[in-house]
Amino acid sequence: MFHNEAKFDAKFVWLIGIGVARDRKGRRMNKIVGMCLAIVPAMCWTLLVAPAEGRAADDAWQQMLKRDFGTGDDAMKAIREEVEAAAPDKRPALEGKLIAILESPEATVPAKQFACRMLRYVGSTKCIPTAAKLLTDVKLSHMGRWVLQGIAGPAAEKALLAALGKASGRVRVGIIETLGERRSPTALAGLAGLLGGDDLAAGEGPVEVIPPDGKGVKLLTYVFANGIRMHRGKGPGKGQAGITVVGTDDKVPAKPMPGYHGSRDIHGDFLNCVRTRQRPFRDVEVSHRTATVCHLGNIAYLLKRPLKWDPVKEEFPGDEQANRFLSRAKRSPWAL
């Protein structure tokens, strides 16, 4: 029909294998060519580019399984962009891939940490059982808590409370902090049950401080619940600090304190730990406990008498005079 009605001069301009033709009026033929020009790139994308991108995405997920600290940046970037840009209907599939990393025996600790960070974007109640398994793992507990903290509802809180009874030490402290961040009143009963326990993990520190009295006690002495006594003394040399462990049979010489991770100072250590996800040499908990010990010693010096200390409640039991030194008057309207 078209050939019978229209006589046309055809002129072909070949560009990347595509000929552009036009009729005398430059209308109908241009319409057809325009459709072709739109279809051909789409076909090329479907047949060539899209499969290549799909393979690249799959490669990124495979690389992530073996990721170590400081490596796999390209794979992390690809997965992060995929997760952040995912539409709601795509998130369950991504969540399944991230759960698979956490459950894979081949996945490294850095890979699992990254998977937990991504689950904060797309995680749902489906990932709670897997994240709950990490709560008692010393290396991954903080990342499991990070996932659960972002999931609303009683299921996540139930997992945290269940782990609270199994954990100890710093791991338990972290779970307590996460429960506090969630601000749920149903967690109070579980937390209250820890106050009478003998696990000082939730409040590490001495239970008694004895200042020197010029008689039998020559050095400031800290007594811990397990019977260990720590005496404040001098380090192994001028300007040095160290620890001397004295046992029933022998004495271990003082050794230098451990240093920072890959750095000469506290600032470089912090930046390095941001990159490697290691615990800083002086993290917030260690710094708090260290400062507490120093304050306890100063208060004992000021009062010139032995003091009993509760490291869980962080108070001097039944000692009103000593408790006055735990804080100072605050300028109104500020309060803690």
- Tell me, what's the pLDDT at 277? 72
Check whether 148 has a pLDDT greater than 70.
yes
Q: Provide the angle, in degrees to the nearest 10, between the axes of the packed helices 73-84 and 50-65.
A: 120
Alpha carbons within 13 angstroms on the beta-carbon side of residue 90 total: 7
pLDDT (0 to 100) of residue 249: 57
Answer yes or no: is pLDDT of 8 > 70: no
Question: Burial letters for 133-159: b for 16+ Cβ neighbours within 10 Å, e otherwise?
Answer: ebbbeeebbbbbbbbbbebeeeebbeb
Question: Does pLDDT of 181 surpass 80?
Answer: no
Indicate whether 1 pLDDT > 50: no
Q: Pairing between strand 18-20 and 307-308? A: unpaired
- Asked if pLDDT for residue 253 goes beyond 60, the answer is no
Residue 87, pLDDT score: 93
Task: Report the C-alpha gap between 115 and 167 in whole angstroms.
Answer: 23
Cα–Cα distance measured from residue 319 to residue 325, given in angstroms and rounded to the nearest whole number? 11
Residue 20 clears pLDDT 50, i.e. is over it: no
Rounded CA-CA distance 103/142 in Å is 17
pLDDT on residue 29? 56
Please give the pLDDT value at position 215. Answer: 83
Whole-number average pLDDT of the chain: 76
Distance from first CA to last CA of the chain, Å, rounded?
87
Structure token digits, residue 266: 């506290």
Q: Higher pLDDT residue, 267 or 34?
A: 267
pLDDT of residue 297: 92
| Pairwise CA distance, residues 7 & 10, whole Å | 10
pLDDT tens-digit series, residues 115-139: 999 999 999 999 999 999 999 998 8
At 114, is the pLDDT very low, low, confident or very high (cuts 50, 70, 90)? very high
Indicate if the pLDDT at residue 111 is higher than 80. Answer: yes
The pLDDT-based confidence of 16 (bands split at 50, 70, 90) is very low
- Residue 62 has a pLDDT of 86
